[in-house]
């Protein structure tokens, strides 16, 4: 049986479980993730999801391997722009960022900050490194792809094929502005 990992928001009222291994563990260096991280951090009690060098760690899971156990009704969605196809969802109880979702996507990018210290699946690559501000240097113990590289898309596609090319629905969320 696949191993289940229990995750929770900071205050513990929103609980979820992820099943088995992730599609990938990554650090996104794109400007949108950085801006979102900074804006969401302004919310009361919100944790800082960015690394020292401004990247956002994400653990990507198939949607059918993510299950909300408690607090799904309190999730709130935030978009950088009203027409953005990407939404970032936070736990309304304590403003903990929970996941990023692309419209119609078959996976969720769960915020690495949800994993208790020392348990985060080690990142395998960084993406969008070309978006980092000038002069910012990245640790080089994992590949630093300038954009989204081929290996990244191959993993996503492989996971979608295994799902029979379906995209499960996620809980309904209220929209917020930050």
Contacts with Zn ion, residue ranges (CB under 5 A)? 9, 11, 13-14, 28, 30, 33, 91, 93-94
Three-state SS for 67-95 is EEEECHHHEEEECCCCCCCEEEEEECCCC
Query: Given the structure tokens 């260096």, which residue do they identify?
Result: 29
How far is Cα 176 from Cα 178, in angstroms, rounded to an integer? 7
Is residue 95 within 8 A of residue 14, CB to CB? The reply is no
CB closer to Zn ion, 73 vs 162:
73
């Amino acid at each position: 049986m696949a191993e289940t990992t229990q995750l929770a928001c900071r205050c513990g009222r929103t609980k979820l479980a992820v099943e088995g291994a992730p599609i990938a563990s990554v650090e996104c260096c794109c400007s949108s993730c950085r801006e979102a991280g900074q804006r969401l951090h302004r919310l009361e009690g919100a944790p800082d999801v960015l690394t020292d060098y401004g990247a956002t760690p994400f653990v990507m899971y198939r949607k059918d391997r993510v299950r909300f156990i408690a607090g799904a009704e309190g999730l709130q969605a935030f978009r950088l722009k009203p027409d953005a196809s990407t939404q970032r969802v936070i736990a309304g109880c304590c403003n903990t960022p929970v996941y990023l979702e692309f419209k119609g996507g078959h996976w969720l990018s769960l915020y690495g900050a949800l994993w208790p210290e020392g348990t985060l699946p080690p990142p395998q690559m960084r993406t969008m490194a070309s978006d980092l501000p000038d002069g910012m240097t990245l640790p080089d113990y994992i590949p630093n792809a300038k954009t989204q590289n081929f290996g990244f898309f191959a993993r996503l596609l492989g996971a979608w094929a295994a799902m029979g090319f379906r995209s499960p629905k996620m809980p309904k969320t209220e929209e917020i502005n930050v």
